[in-house]
Structure 1
Amino acid sequence: MDEQHVKGRTFSRYAVFYSVIAAIGGFLFGYDTAVISGAIGFITTRFDLQPGMVGWTVSSLIIGATIGAACSGVLSDKYGRKNMLVVSALLFSLGALLSAMPTGVAGLVIARIVGGIGVGMTSTLSPLYIAEISPARNRGRLVSIYQFAVVTGIFVTFFINAGIAGIGDDAWDVAYGWRWMFGFGVLPGLLYLVLLAFIPESPRWLMKRKQEVRALDILERMNGKEAAKSELNEILNLKEEEAGSVRELFSPALRLPLFVGVVLAILQQITGINAIMYYAPEIFKQTGAGTDAALSQTVWVGIVNFGFTLLALWLIDKVGRKMLLVVGSIAMTVCLFAVGYGFQSGITGYSILFFILVYVASFAISFGPVVWVMISEIFPTRIRGRATAVASFCLWAADYAVSQTFPMLIEGIGTARTFWLFAVVSAISILFCVRIVPETKGKTLEQIERQWQSGRR
């Protein structure tokens, strides 16, 4: 084994270590998204909630996340990626603590908004930070750790909810169980806060602040001396002296990358993934499954999502971003049309479950991880924080729209037509990925920027 290979592997370990720590923010995202599924029934009984208030209690987290995503770019450009990750960990921990203590539903909603702000900030900043510290050769795999952490958080939370609910009887769950479910989130929040002390600031942010010596030291840790000097020269050659303004986002030079980032973020949500994640038990009940069977089938959704996200980590730097998006979109389109046909034809049993699981698997190896990777790497450094925040804001807004409208679509146009609507959106995503989305595999962030400037995709 030659010295260069040994060095590359050693420096890669630093990148993996820092990336894993930053990606714990994704675990917090997954936890806060999933914990409500186990708690909402008890909360509804405890506070005698009407359907509209149930929806608001569930979606209040998304409102907070949208706010957090919107402000994260400006704040991270000014105060640093690491510092704002610390703030997001504090907000998440505070939100989890406050969610366990309210005497009324208004207090719970406020607490979830506070925690949601932290989730929204970390959903922007964790992938952004990982992209800025990662070597080009395995940046996709490292950024994908964030999405893997999200699905891990969802998966683990299902078992935490079940464990807490099993401690006492229904009366105990209504009085205290849901509080413990929320309060348990303080532990991963505080762990994240402690571990963030061990990661460095983003070298590209340091370069924007004219701290070349610190930036070079961090790049050497990641890539070795020769590669670090080359990467530092690339950054310097772009002469990015000041952070870009929000107005600059809409300049002709940045219009196309912004368009790609925003559309990918929206497509990730409106192709229907969270309609399935949030409402899977109700969907499976419509196939004839009983309550227990519907919950068991929902666990299979979590298992498939977890397993195929892990597969995506291996594929993304081998196959490339664009190929995964195209293949995933095709498979998602076929499965969604099949699910709609199943409901239209009155098919029950495991056929619909099969196509939903294949759909989830297709999403997990494509739009799930790839979108987070691409919106963290396609923007120029001087504007990356703000641009990523805009894309994340649009993602959360689309998530809110889907979570609120799915029950209304089911009631208004029927289950079959609702899934066919998602299928049409997935078909549009095929064309968008083939014609518009660039391939960024193996390129440094600076090479990607020059690729936009030259007009090549």
Structure 2
Amino acid sequence: MTQTQTQGSTLFIIGITLVATLGGLLFGYDTAVISGATEALKVFFVTPLESDSALALQVLGEYKIIISICFIVVSSLISSFMFRMYGKQKGIIYSSILILAGIVIWYTQFWVSVNELTENTLNSINGFTISSAIIGCVIGGSICGYVSQRLGRKRGLVLAAVLFTISAVGSAMPEIMNFFGASTISAFIFYRIVGGIGVGIASMLSPMYIAEIAPAKYRGTLVSANQFAIVFGMLVVYFVNYTISLNGDANWLNEIGWRYMFASETIPAFIFLVMLYFVPESPRYLIMKSREEEAESVLNKIVGTIKAPQLMADIKESLKEKNAPWLTFGGLIITIGVLLSVFQQFVGINVVLYYAAEIFRNLGSSTGDALYQTIIVGAINLIFTVLAIFTVDKFGRKPLMIIGGVGMGICMFALGAAFYYNQLGLVALFAMLGYVAFFAMSWGPVTWVLLSEIFPNSIRSAMSLAVAAQWIANMIVSWTFPMMNDNSWLTGMFNHGFSYWIYGAMGILSAIFVWKVVPETKGKTLEEMGRLWKK
């Protein structure tokens, strides 16, 4: 018997981890590809509505229907969480109250009021078109648990790869792929939502698969590789977008170039789909489905023949653990999990990631220069994410989060002031890059570390509520930025600085929240966290 058979194959572990992290890379690629096309999408889809009344009427009707469907999806998601927290009787009461209040707001503030193409409506349509993939992320994240149980981790990732591919093709050619007779912009939104579902599935299944396939002593490092892959995917797509922009002028980019940006995703998606054929299913899932011989074969390759039997016994024992009601440890832990997720988005990071090129154009850069500068944003994001990975266990979670929150707040206030006083030079550039650095070393990766540690084993599924809250907050921020940034009155008053001051205030509030409320989890086991919450 060889040493590899008795101790497991490190090369095998690294290989399957690299394949799984392609899901994270596609997560980053799909969410950041939009950054190079924001102006083009506005020119191609939204601007023509101002001069074509028939098209405007059609798009306005479809827009109201799409938003209404999204409202139903999110309401259903929130209702399911209410049942998990409060049980059947109270769940019905609380979800009914929330849904009723939501219907009143939806009808009075949206359905009745949005009947003509005003400036605010155009900005809203533009913002929703750009951020529509996030609706898919909410859906994908909410069904991911079901997918992982029914299809398994591997086939769930295969489904995500297929959805990425469909989305890439459909988003690049919405006229050709429009099989449902809607307007072109609605077809584009549909395919972006399809890609978002893939992102939502991959965002949970990739780290889940890695965690279940990795030996305990390597698990932290290998799971961190998924976060690195997400940020690396963003950097890759910034390079791709810039390279595509070099092939023509702004008019070409607005008409044709943006299509190549979305179509480029088919390459990593196809590679991911092919490589998944060569990786095994998670041994935990195999044991769950009573496929023990297959599980043992995989574990022999991972930890070796000596440790495999004991590990199989441990997995079987862990599967006996019962899920407890989400409020077993009180409401504070749920509140902390949700607010960590909400603050991570309300500080405005996805405004920078999605609208980076537009922000640079507002700073006075040409389209080509703006796309080049987004590469710098991606590089800063990558470098400081690596810094967080290597320091989070040394300095602790709270210090990094507090420093990051204050730093982001200061940088956003500075960026807003630069716009307000029209000082759009190096100060504004460094404020934006400083903001990205502070986020990448703190609230970007460390939020996920905290979320994975604060929930005890028996209510670990409650993390799905925090993840859903994160995507919903992402949607709100990404949707509302054009409504604030392009509003004539706000622009006249604050010269594009208003929204950045809002995000700056959120950065300071996030630091205060962590300082006052969030416990330090460094060095604590999940069992110790459970005892802490019981107190």
- TM-score band w.r.t. shorter chain: 0.7 to 0.9
CA deviation after TM superposition for structure 1 residue 335, in Å:
2.7
1:72 aligned partner, one-letter code: C
List runs of 5+ in structure 1 lacking aligned partners: none
Change (3 A) 1:430 1:37: closer
CA contact (8 A) 2:136 2:193 kept: yes
Mapped partners of 1:270, 1:186: distance in 2: 31
1:122 to 202, 206, 213: 202
CA deviation after TM superposition for structure 1 residue 35, in Å:
2.4
SS of equivalent to 1:102: coil
CA contact (8 A) 1:203 1:216 kept: yes
Change (3 A) 1:283 1:405: same
Larger Rg: 2
Change (3 A) 1:260 1:218: farther
CA deviation after TM superposition for structure 1 residue 306, in Å:
2.1
Residue pairs, 1:329-368, within 5 angstroms: 329-343=405-419, 347-368=423-444
2:530 to 447, 453, 456: 453
TM-score scaled by length of structure 2:
0.71
Residue pairs, 1:267-416, within 5 angstroms: 267-287=343-363, 294-343=370-419, 347-376=423-452, 379=455, 384=460, 386-410=461-485, 411=487, 412=490, 414=494, 415-416=496-497
CA deviation after TM superposition for structure 1 residue 34, in Å:
2.6
Mapped partners of 1:64, 1:33: distance in 2: 11
Mapped partners of 2:153, 2:266: distance in 1: 22
1:452 aligned partner, one-letter code: M
CA contact (8 A) 2:388 2:441 kept: yes
SS of equivalent to 2:227: helix
Change (3 A) 1:58 1:343: closer
Mapped partners of 2:358, 2:250: distance in 1: 21
Percent of paired sites with the same residue: 41
Aligned residue pairs: how many? 444
Q: Deviations over 1:408-434 (max 9, x none)?
A: 344448455533432332233334434
- Does residue 1:145 correspond to 2:143, yes or no? no
2:213 to 120, 123, 133: 133
Mapped partners of 1:170, 1:343: distance in 2: 24
CA contact (8 A) 1:208 1:241 kept: no
CA contact (8 A) 2:242 2:372 kept: no
Mapped partners of 1:215, 1:365: distance in 2: 37
Mapped partners of 1:12, 1:317: distance in 2: 24
CA contact (8 A) 2:138 2:197 kept: yes
Change (3 A) 1:202 1:367: farther
Change (3 A) 1:373 1:135: farther
- Does residue 1:101 correspond to 2:164, yes or no? no
Mapped partners of 2:282, 2:386: distance in 1: 26
Further displaced range: 269-278 or 388-397? 388-397
1:33 alignment counterpart: 31
CA deviation after TM superposition for structure 1 residue 293, in Å:
5.1
Mapped partners of 1:440, 1:65: distance in 2: 30
Mapped partners of 2:366, 2:41: distance in 1: 23
Further displaced range: 310-319 or 84-93? 310-319
CA contact (8 A) 1:27 1:150 kept: yes
2:58 alignment counterpart: none
List runs of 5+ in structure 2 lacking aligned partners: 50-121, 176-183
2:158 to 75, 86, 95: 86
Change (3 A) 1:222 1:328: farther
CA deviation after TM superposition for structure 1 residue 397, in Å:
0.8
Mapped partners of 1:259, 1:217: distance in 2: 42
1:20 alignment counterpart: 18
1:240 alignment counterpart: 320
Change (3 A) 1:62 1:134: same
CA deviation after TM superposition for structure 1 residue 360, in Å:
0.7
Change (3 A) 1:438 1:233: farther
Mapped partners of 2:278, 2:342: distance in 1: 34
CA deviation after TM superposition for structure 1 residue 236, in Å:
5.0
TM-score scaled by length of structure 1:
0.82
CA deviation after TM superposition for structure 1 residue 148, in Å:
1.9
Q: Give the aligned CA root-mean-square deviation in angstroms.
A: 3.6
